Amino acid sequence: MDFEELVRRRRMVRRFSPEPVSEEKLARILDLARRAPSAGFSQGQSFVVVTDAARRAEIARIAGERAYVERGFDPWLSGAPVHVVVCVSERAYRERYREPDKLRGGPEKQWPVPHWYVDGGCALMLLLLAAVNEGLAAGFLDLGTEGYLRLRDLLGIPDDVQPIGLVTLGIPAADRRSGSLARGRKPLEEVVHRESWGSRGGSD
Ligand SMILES: Cc1cc2nc3c(=O)[nH]c(=O)nc-3n(C[C@H](O)[C@H](O)[C@H](O)COP(=O)(O)O)c2cc1C
């Protein structure tokens, strides 16, 4: 599959066949995600992979799957054979940017943009695309403040590591699409500014 097709095929899938994902496929997907860029090569991204059925069911409980299903959606999380919690470490960046080649005798970086979240997003995107590349599909969801606290407890995620969301992986099944898609994708000229913000400019 070429890159354009891969990108165009990717979409958030919210229902999966219970069939397990082979360890080989999973390893290739995670290995590609590991190739995500990171500021200063800090590599603050990490992944907690959960395939144990009881643990996945507990994550589904934490995420409020029962209420979700009662609203007419599919049992997305409990039915997905693989959960991957994508995590970032702010500490990894702060420590890296205190190293001499980054400080160069100057003050510590101010972090107007928290690079750990940027890099977490890069790794997330690679995970989503790598899943499609393996003939699988992926979904992503936020667990909310309380959900992350409970997830930390369940999975033993340390205090200085922030889970940024949960990726579900597996063979796609027919799912109910998100209502958000009704918004439609913005046209190119609305999201691209050429030379300055004031001028719009996709290609025509
Ligand atoms: C940071 C982020 C958080 C998201 N959180 C959720 C979520 O909590 N639940 C959900 O069903 N989808 C979630 N999504 C998926 C978006 O709804 C989805 O990407 C968007 O509707 C576009 O659809 P597509 O990815 O299938 O093209 C999230 C996506 C991102 C990037």
Of 140, 86, 138, 156, which Cα lies nearest the Cα of 117? 86
Of 113, 133, 128, 112, which Cα lies nearest the Cα of 165? 128
In this predicted structure, the answer to whether residue 165 has a pLDDT above a threshold of 90 is: yes
In this predicted structure, the answer to whether residue 204 has a pLDDT above a threshold of 60 is: no
Q: Rounded mean pLDDT of 143-168? A: 98
What span, in angstroms and rounded, lies between the C-alpha atoms of 42 and 161? 14
The residue contributing the CA closest to ligand 1 atom 4 is 141
The residue contributing the CA closest to ligand 1 atom 16 is 12
* pLDDT tens-digit readout, 52-102: 999 999 999 999 999 999 999 999 999 999 999 999 999 999 999 999 999
75 CA to middle of ligand 1, Å? 16
- Average pLDDT, whole number, for the chain? 96
**What percent of the chain shows pLDDT beyond 90?**
96
In this predicted structure, the answer to whether residue 202 has a pLDDT above a threshold of 60 is: no
The structure tokens 């940017």 sit at 97
CA 54 to chain centroid, in Å, comes to 22
Structure tokens at 128: 């989503």
142 CA to middle of ligand 1, Å? 8
Query: With bands split at pLDDT 50, 70 and 90, how would you rate the model's confidence at 31?
Result: very high
The structure tokens 């390893």 sit at 27
**How confident is the model at residue 199, as a pLDDT?**
81
**How confident is the model at residue 203, as a pLDDT?**
53
The residue contributing the CA closest to ligand 1 atom 27 is 11
> Residues, the chain, total?
204
The structure tokens 């991957």 sit at 84
**How confident is the model at residue 119, as a pLDDT?**
98
Ligand 1 atom nearest to 124, measured from its CA: 31
Q: Which domains does the chain have, with CATH numbers?
A: 3-191 (3.40.109.10)
Ligand 1 atom nearest to 183, measured from its CA: 21
